[in-house]
Amino acid sequence: MTAFPKGILALFSIVLLVWALRSQEDSLPKPREKFEADELVSSLTVKIHVDEGSDCDEPLALDLGLGFPLWLQPVGRKSDELTPYGAIPQKSDAQGTLKAGSTGTFTFELAGDAGQDLFQSTSQLLKDVKVSDISRIGFMSQATHGWILKSYEITVNEKLFASGSASKDPPNQTPAQTLVKPKMEQELARLKMADLGTKIAAIDANRSELIELVNTNLANEDDTKNLASINQTYQPLLQERRRLEGQLSGVYCWYEDKTFASPWRDAAPIQSVRVTLLTDTHSAADTQNYVYFRTGGHSYLLGSPAAPLSGADGPQVFSLDLISGPLKQSDIRGYSLGMIGQPKPFGKTPDRWHPLRLIVEIDGKSVYDSETVDLDRKSLQAIRMIPPVHADTDGTPITNSPISRETFVWKAGNGAGLDPKTLQPLPLPDASDPAFPKAESDNTAMNSGQPKTDDSKPHDPKPADSKPEDSKPDDTKADPTQPEDSKPDDPKDPKADDTKDANSNNSNSSTTPDPQTDNSNNFPGEKGSSSGSGSSFDGSGGGTGGSSGGGSMGGGDSNSPSSGGGGSTDSPPGSNALPPAASSSSPPSGSTAVPFGKPIQINQVRIVSGYKMDDTFSIIWTISGDESTVDHYEISLLPIRPEKAVPSAEAVYTTVSQPRGARSATLTIPSGTANGDYFIAPVVTAMPLVTSPAAAATPSSDPNAPSATPIVSPNPTSTPHLKIGAAKMLFPAGTVWDPATQPVLGGGPAYGGVRSTFAYRTPYAFSHSTQLLSGGMPAKRTDRGVWSAGSIVSDSGILFEATGRGCHVGIQPQAGDSTQVFLKVNCWSGSSRRLVAHLGFLGGPGASGSATALLERNWLNSAGAPITGYQTLGSPVTAVAGDPMPSPLTGLISPLNAPSGAVYMGIRVTITGGPFDAVHPPALFGVRLVSQ
C-alpha cells in the first residue's frame, strides 16, 4: 500500500474541508445584495427547483404582494390556453412541465423583446415598481398534484434579492429553507377551513340572538358590550377564512417565506381602498379587456372578459384586494388606469374603452375624484384606452400604435389627449391618414348589451378577474361597525341584480341617450352620449361620515378574495351608488336642445379658494340629469349663522351668472360688508328654460320638411334646482393667515409624560385620558373620547366643511361627566384676537339632550406646562338639541397679557349637562382665533 506524504494528506484534507463547507453553504440561504428603497425594478428573474418525486405540471405564480401574480409561464399551460391577468415572463428555459429534479428559470423585464409575453403585460405591470413595494415572497397555484418545491432564487436588476434552499440532511435545515409540498399545504388549509367553520358557526348562534335584541331595541348594556366583543373576535376569523378560500382556489399563496422581511414596510397598513369607475354610454365605450387600477407599483384588476366594464352598469365600485397587494401610505403614488389585451379574438381594431370618471377612497374617505379636477375631467372625456396588443379575428396578436387621444395607461394629472395650452381635445388624424382610428368591427352587439365576443366558454377559475360582492346580510343593520362576511358572487350569475331593493330610489340612475345621435367628440363608429356625460358625487352615497366626518362612500371589504389580486365590485349592475353627471359640452344658452334623461340636479358644490371677507372666492360644482333644460346658473355666497332659527336665512352676499355648461365661477363679497363670526356657504341654482307657444306651430304637409324649432328662453315660473354646499369658516378682511396661531387639540395636563387632550370627572372620581381618537368618534357608544372632526353635519342640518383653518372638535361624554377639552395655540405678537367656537351636536337632525360649555385660557411654557392659572373667557353657553346653536363661545385675548416665558396659550373648554345622546354627541364647530 502506497503511503502519501504528510503534506499531501494535509492538502487533501483542506480541499475536502473547503468542498464540504461550500456544499453546506450552497444549501443555506444566500445573503441579499444591497438595494435602495427607491430602486426601480427593471428586471426580475425567478429560478425554482422541483424536488425528486413528482413533476410540476400546473399553472404556478410568484406572489410579491403587488396586487398581481407573476405567472411562471409556460409551466402548467397548453400552448393554446388563454393566460389570465398577470405578468408573463418574456424568457424562460422551462416547458409546460417541470420535471422532478429539474429547475426552471423565468425572466420578467420592463423593456425588451416581448418573447412569450405576447400581450406585453409585464412591461405594463412592472412599470413604477420599486424594490420597497415588494412585501413578501410566496408561490401560489391550485396545488392539485404532489410535486415538491425544493428551492427558489430571485434576482432583481441582476442582483440577488432572495433565496431559499433545502438540504436532505435535517440538522442542516434552517427556517429559510424551502422543502414545501404544495398539495399537503392545501390539505392543511382545508382542515383549517373546517375548524374555522366550526368556530364561526358556534359564534353565529349567539351573535344572531344579540343582533335580534339590538334590532328590536331589547338589548341592555351588557348585550351591547357582548355583541361588540363578539364582533372583535369574529372579524379575524372571517378574514382568515377568506384567505384560506383564496389559497385553495389559487388566488393566494400556499407558501410564504417567513424569513423575508422588507426593511421598508414597517408602517401601518391601509385597511381598505375602493375604486369607482364610470364608463360612457355611447356605443363601443365598453370593454372586455383587462383593466387595472395602479397606484405606485401596485396594480389591481378591475375589468375582465368575464366582468366587462360597461356604461350600462352605471357606476362600478371595486374593493381592492389588499390581501393580494397590501398597501401603506407611502405606496400611494398617484392614480392610474391601465389596459392589457384579453387574448380572445376580437378584430383588426382594438376593443377601446371610454372611462369617464375615477373615484378613489382610502380607509373610507374620498381622496381623489377626477370630476373635481378640471384637467382630469377633460382628459377622460377626450381619451380612449386601448391595449398595447390585441388579438385579430383569427387570434393573431396585433401591436397597436396609439394616436394622441389613445393611451395604454391613463394617469391622473397628465392631461392625456388634451392640448396643453387650451386644454381642449387634440384633433383626430385626418380621415385620409393611415393613423385615422377605425371603427370597432362589432360595436352594434356591444351597444345592445351583448358581449363583443363569444363568452360562452367556462371562465378560467385561476386568478384573473374581479368578482362582485354579495349584498350585505340584513343583520348588519344592527351595528354599522360590525364585520361583514362578503363572499364573491359568480360574475355571470343572472340573479345578481335580484338582491337590489326593489323600492330603491332610481332618480339618479344612468340614462342612455339616443344611440343614433352623433357627437363631434366621438371616435368613428361611436353613437350616442360622449365626452361629457360624466358623473358627480357629493358624499351622499355614504352619508356624511357620521360624527367623525368623511362624507364619502364607506370603504369596502379589503379581505374579499378577488382573482389575481384585483378588486371586487360593490354594486350590482344598474346600481345607483353614483349618479351620472350631465354633459359639460352642452349647447350654448338659448340654442335648441333635445332633452334627455332625468331632471337636472346640482350635486357637489364647493368653495375651492377664498376664506376671508376681502378674498376672491372660487366655486365649482357638478351636475347630473338633463342639462339641456337649463338656461344658466346663478352662483351665490350665503352667510351661515348657526345661532339663527334659520341659519341660512340671511341675504346672500353676492350673485353672479354663468352659462349652461359652466362648472366654476368666481365671486367677491361687496366692500364695506361688516365682519362677523359667520360661516359662508356656496349656492348654485340651475335656472330653467321655457318653450314658447310658437314651438307648437302647425307642421308642414311636406314629410321631408324639418320640424318646427322650439323657441327657448329663461323660465321665471319653473322651479329652479339649487344646491347649498358645505359651510366654511369666514375670517375678517385683512387676515394674514398663519396656521401656527390657530388652535389645535392638546396642551392639557401631563400624565406619564404625555400632554392630554381631554380629562373628565365622573360623579364618583376624577380620571384623565390622552387623545387617541385619530380615526373619529369612538366605535363604542359607552366609550369616552375627544377627536378632531372632519366634514360634519350639525343637528340643525348644516354641513360644515373639513378645514385646515381652525378646527371642529367632537366630544363623547357619558352621563354625569364633566369633560374638559384642551387645545393650545402658539403665542403671537401684535393686536388682540378673539377666540370663537359654536357649541352644537353632531350627526344631523334628531338629536336629544343638552350641553353647557365654559371657555377658559391659561399660558404654557415651551414644555407645555402651565405657568398661570385658568382665566374664564365670557359666560357659559348652553346648547339644546333641536334648537338653534347658542351665540358662540368667545373671548378677547391680548398678547400683552402673556407672562414672561409663555410660548403657548392653553384653551380649556368644560362640557357639562346632559343627558347626552350617544348618536348625536356634543361638538365645537369652527374653533378659531380671529383678528379684532
Whether the Cβ atoms of residue 712 and residue 590 lie closer than 8 Å to each other: yes
Instruction: Give the CA distances from residue 68 to residues 107, 129, 812, 859, in Å, rounded to whole numbers and listed in that order.
Output: 16, 12, 43, 55
pLDDT band at 415 (very low <50, low <70, confident <90, very high): very high
Whether the Cβ atoms of residue 369 and residue 389 lie closer than 8 Å to each other: no
Cβ-count burial 728-741 (b if 16+ within 10 Å, e if not):
bbbbbeebeeeeeb
Whether the Cβ atoms of residue 496 and residue 569 lie closer than 8 Å to each other: no
Per-residue model confidence as pLDDT tens digits over 777-804: 666 666 788 888 878 888 888 888 876 6
Is the confidence at residue 5, as pLDDT, over 60? no
**Spatial distance between the Cα atoms of 901 and 903, rounded to a whole number of angstroms:** 6
pLDDT band at 32 (very low <50, low <70, confident <90, very high): low
Whether the Cβ atoms of residue 142 and residue 309 lie closer than 8 Å to each other: no
Per-residue model confidence as pLDDT tens digits over 888-908: 888 888 888 888 888 888 899
Give pLDDT, residue 521: 73
Instruction: Give the CA distances from residue 710 to residues 270, 595, 691, in Å, rounded to whole numbers and listed in that order.
Output: 55, 12, 6
**Spatial distance between the Cα atoms of 719 and 97, rounded to a whole number of angstroms:** 72
Element spanning 19, H or E: helix 6-26
Query: Dihedral (C-alpha) 113, 118, 123, 124: value to the nearest 10 degrees?
Result: 160
Q: What is the SS3 assignment for 84?
A: coil
Owner of C-alpha cell 388682540: 832
Give pLDDT, residue 895: 82
User: What cell numbers appear for 872 in the block?
Assistant: 374664564
The lowest-confidence range among 119-133, 533-547, 826-840 is 533-547
Query: pTM (2 decimals)?
Result: 0.53
Kindly state the average pLDDT of the residues 503-518. 34
Phi and psi torsions of 541, nearest 5°: -60, -30
Kindly state the average pLDDT of the residues 559-582. 36
Instruction: Give the CA distances from residue 871 to residues 355, 864, 897, in Å, rounded to whole numbers and listed in that order.
Output: 59, 17, 11
Per-residue model confidence as pLDDT tens digits over 916-931: 888 888 999 989 988 8
Q: What is the SS3 assignment for 11?
A: helix
User: What cell numbers appear for 563 in the block?
Assistant: 382573482
**Spatial distance between the Cα atoms of 600 and 589, rounded to a whole number of angstroms:** 15
**Half-sphere exposure at residue 686, Cβ-oriented, CA atoms within 13 angstroms:** 26
Give pLDDT, residue 200: 85
**Half-sphere exposure at residue 586, Cβ-oriented, CA atoms within 13 angstroms:** 31
With a CB cutoff of 8 Å and minimum separation 6, the contacts of 539 are 366, 545, 550, 551, 552, 604, 791
Instruction: Give the CA distances from residue 427 to residues 352, 382, 388, 437, in Å, rounded to whole numbers and listed in that order.
Output: 17, 10, 21, 12
Give pLDDT, residue 333: 95
User: What cell numbers appear for 138 in the block?
Assistant: 410566496
A 10 A CB-CB count for 428 gives: 18
Owner of C-alpha cell 338659448: 590
Whether the Cβ atoms of residue 312 and residue 512 lie closer than 8 Å to each other: yes
Instruction: Give the CA distances from residue 807 to residues 290, 505, 728, 879, 913, in Å, rounded to whole numbers and listed in that order.
Output: 44, 35, 11, 19, 23
The lowest-confidence range among 299-308, 354-363, 452-461, 631-640 is 452-461
**Crossing angle of helices 182-215/221-248, nearest 10°?**
150
With a CB cutoff of 8 Å and minimum separation 6, the contacts of 251 are 140, 324, 463, 561, 562, 563, 564, 565
774 DSSP assignment: T
Q: What is the SS3 assignment for 712?
A: strand
Give pLDDT, residue 195: 85
Per-residue model confidence as pLDDT tens digits over 188-247: 888 888 888 888 888 887 888 888 788 777 778 888 888 888 888 888 888 888 889 888
Give pLDDT, residue 795: 84
Identity of the amino acid at 416: A
Between CA 642 and CA 722, with CA 808 as vertex, the angle to 5 degrees is 50
Helices and strands: H and E segment counts in the chain: 6, 48
End-to-end CA distance of the chain: 111
Element spanning 121, H or E: helix 121-125
- Nearest to 821, CA basis, from 744, 893, 722, 875: 744
- Nearest to 300, CA basis, from 326, 278, 280: 326
Is the confidence at residue 675, as pLDDT, over 70? yes
Whether the Cβ atoms of residue 564 and residue 464 lie closer than 8 Å to each other: yes
User: What cell numbers appear for 891 in the block?
Assistant: 373671548
pLDDT band at 39 (very low <50, low <70, confident <90, very high): very high
99 DSSP assignment: -
Q: What is the SS3 assignment for 578?
A: coil
Element spanning 603, H or E: strand 601-609
Whether the Cβ atoms of residue 523 and residue 437 lie closer than 8 Å to each other: yes
Per-residue model confidence as pLDDT tens digits over 447-490: 333 334 333 333 333 333 343 343 333 333 334 333 333 333 33
Instruction: Work out whether strand 316-320 and strand 567-569 pair parallel, antiparallel, or are unpaired.
Output: antiparallel
Give pLDDT, residue 294: 97
A 10 A CB-CB count for 714 gives: 15
Residue 929 CA to its chain's centroid (Å): 34
Q: What share of the chain is helix, strand, coil (3-state, %, to 5)?
A: 15, 30, 55
**Spatial distance between the Cα atoms of 252 and 671, rounded to a whole number of angstroms:** 64
Is the confidence at residue 495, as pLDDT, over 80? no
User: What cell numbers appear for 126 in the block?
Assistant: 412592472
Per-residue model confidence as pLDDT tens digits over 314-346: 889 999 999 999 999 999 999 999 999 988 888
Owner of C-alpha cell 387632550: 757
Give pLDDT, residue 776: 63
Whether the Cβ atoms of residue 683 and residue 723 lie closer than 8 Å to each other: yes
Q: What is the SS3 assignment for 6?
A: helix
Q: What is the SS3 assignment for 436?
A: coil
Residue 921 CA to its chain's centroid (Å): 28
- Nearest to 299, CA basis, from 262, 324, 274: 324
With a CB cutoff of 8 Å and minimum separation 6, the contacts of 439 are 284, 349, 523, 524, 525, 526
Kindly state the average pLDDT of the residues 165-186. 61
The lowest-confidence range among 378-392, 478-492, 707-721 is 478-492
User: What cell numbers appear for 725 in the block?
Assistant: 354646499
Whether the Cβ atoms of residue 321 and residue 272 lie closer than 8 Å to each other: no
Query: Dihedral (C-alpha) 139, 142, 146, 148: value to the nearest 10 degrees?
Result: 0
User: What cell numbers appear for 790 in the block?
Assistant: 372632519
How many residues would you count in the chain? 932
User: What cell numbers appear for 683 in the block?
Assistant: 349656492
Instruction: Work out whether strand 355-362 and strand 397-399 pair parallel, antiparallel, or are unpaired.
Output: unpaired
Instruction: Work out whether strand 728-729 and strand 721-724 pair parallel, antiparallel, or are unpaired.
Output: unpaired
Whether the Cβ atoms of residue 298 and residue 325 lie closer than 8 Å to each other: yes
DSSP code string of 830-897: SS-EEEEEEEEEBSSS----EEEEEEEEEEE-TTS-BSS--EE-S--EEEETTSPPPSPEEEEE-GGG
Give pLDDT, residue 441: 58
907 DSSP assignment: E
